[in-house]
Amino acid sequence: MISIRSLLVGALLAPALLAPAALLPASATAKAVPQLVAVRADRHPGVDRLVFEFRNGLPPTRIAEYVPKLIADGSGHTVPVPGAAKLALRFFDARGHDDTGGSTYGASRRTYALPGVIQVVNTGDWEATLSFGVGLAKKVPYRMYTLTKPSRIVVDFTVGYRTVPVKAYFLDLPREPKLKAVSRPVIPPSTAHGALQRLFAGPTAAERASGLRFVNSGATGYSKLTVTNKVARVYLTGKVKSGGATFTVANHLNATLKQFPTVKWVKIYDAAGKTQRPGGNSDSIPESLEP
């Protein structure tokens, strides 16, 4: 039988037991969510190293896998990224934005002039799931691991293949409409194909800071490139149009492809497979790229 004395003691102790949790602010009781603060990539002996740096610790769950295409979280739309292989990365219970919705790690899409890593793009920051895609020059073995002080997720891509330098031509804004060539490493013998991958990746952050730009004219990439009898044929993807401009993606493509001795003329096709002069030895663009 419970005595009156026991009930009174329990009643007196209950508020004291509840008080610490009840009186603490929500921010103190809630666990801080890991927040992405930096993305960087660099060349190391035998590997291209991609690093994601976090504050508030590391995401507890990380997944990496090769995929045929990148899908945006939430919308389900395809996210274009140049490269022969695509790696999808997902960090759970993490975010890359602040309380106002602004990015805490910088640009959502960034290009690198590395042998393996071509471009890294954000594919989602939604419902505490942070997602990225990596466009690679080749499908290679990789290793994902973590480091501390500061908290980092690292992905090392094995780069044991040979590369050769080629040029990608970008618009030089200080000297517009001039083009400027930058060097990129590509895997032989498909050097023209590799050059176009690098072209569609656009300038690196340092090159953009110096004024270089890529005018894609609505093209999201290309589906096919052939070179026969010194005629290169490029089949673009996306809704290609000039918008009335005289400088278009065709200027980039012509300069980049004609650096190769096997190419004298460039014929550019839209997504419907149409160009104005499909036959003969001449350059050609689709009607939509006319000013």
Q: Are residues 104 and 148 in the same domain?
A: yes
Say if residue 145 is in the same domain as residue 242: no
* Cα 106 to Cα 21, 79, 110, 122, 264, distances in angstroms: 37, 18, 9, 11, 40
Looking at the structure, do residues 124 and 180 belong to the same domain, yes or no?
A: no
Structural domain count of the chain: 2
Final residue belonging to a domain, choices 158, 192, 218:
158
pTM of the model: 0.87
Beginning with the edge strand found earlier in the chain, give each strand of the sheet holding 117-126 in spatial order.
Answer: 61-67, 85-92, 129-136, 117-126, 109-111
Q: Residue 195: inside a domain, yes or no?
A: yes
CA angle 108, 216, 260 (to 5 degrees): 115
6 within a domain of the structure (yes/no): no
In a domain, 5, yes or no: no
Beta-carbon neighbour count of residue 158 at 10 Å? 14
Q: Are residues 117 and 40 in the same domain?
A: yes
How many angstroms separate the CA atoms of 237 and 220, rounded? 6
Looking at residue 31, its pLDDT comes to 67
**Domain annotation covers residue 7:** no
Q: Are residues 130 and 94 in the same domain?
A: yes
Which domain does 118 fall in, by range?
A: 35-158
Query: Are residues 154 and 91 located together in one domain of the fold?
Result: yes
**Of the candidates 158, 190, 206, which is a domain's last residue?**
158
Q: For residues 121 and 73, give the distance between their C-alpha atoms in angstroms, rounded to a whole number.
A: 13
The domain boundary, picked from 130, 158, 186, lies at 158
- Same domain as 182, residue 133: no
Task: Say if 20 falls within a structural domain.
Answer: no
Identify whether 186 is part of a domain.
Answer: yes
141 and 178 fall within a common domain = no
Q: Are residues 139 and 189 in the same domain?
A: no
Q: Which helix (H) or strand (E) holds 207?
A: helix 205-209
Q: Which two tokens stand for residue 60?
A: 């507890």
CATH of the domain at 141: 2.60.40.3500
285 DSSP assignment: -
Q: Do 128 and 44 lie in a common domain? A: yes
Q: Is residue 9 in some structural domain?
A: no
Q: Verify that 176 and 272 share a domain, yes or no.
A: yes
- Using DSSP, state whether 210 is helix, strand or coil: coil
pLDDT of residue 105: 98
Contact 94, 59 (CB under 8 A): yes
- Do 169 and 281 lie in one domain? The reply is yes
Q: In a structure prediction context, what are the per-residue pLDDT tens digits for the chain, which is 291 residues long?
A: 444 344 333 443 333 333 333 333 434 334 689 999 999 999 999 999 999 999 999 999 999 999 999 999 988 999 999 999 999 999 999 999 999 999 999 999 999 999 999 999 999 999 999 999 999 999 999 999 999 999 999 999 999 999 999 999 999 998 888 999 999 999 999 999 999 999 999 999 999 999 999 999 999 999 999 999 999 999 999 999 999 999 999 999 999 999 999 999 999 999 999 999 999 999 999 999 999
Tell me the residue type at 49: R
Task: Judge whether 73 lies within some domain.
Answer: yes
Say if CB 66 and CB 119 are below 8 A apart. no
Contact 167, 207 (CB under 8 A): no
pLDDT of residue 246: 95
Q: What is the DSSP string of 7-30?
A: HHHHHHHHHHHHHHHHHS-HHHHS
